[in-house]
Amino acid sequence: MISQCANPVCPAGFDHRKGQLFRFPKRAKDELGNTHSVQHFWLCANCSKLYSLEYIENQGVALKPHVELARTESRHFIAAA
């Protein structure tokens, strides 16, 4: 269950009416075959203006600055693959 913003430095509590909800595949290392597990993440309204979340295969979910704001290609992983 989502309780707060996925940005680890943001204290905002979950509010489904504001911000952006993300859904990514969740695959345990020992899972084989066709699975339908998902993980849900939420960025608050303020953080969703600055960041997005990106799923990177075999690495996890990363907090990524919007392209127009990023000076370098920087990601901060918030969940392992």
* More reliable by pLDDT, 13 or 78: 13
Of 18 and 75, which is predicted with more confidence? 18
Please, what sign has the CA dihedral across residues 19, 25, 28, 29?
negative
Collect all residues with Cβ–Cβ distance below 8 Å to 48 and sequence separation of at least 6: 19, 20
pLDDT tens-digit map of 14-61: 998 999 999 988 766 555 666 668 889 999 999 999 999 999 888 889
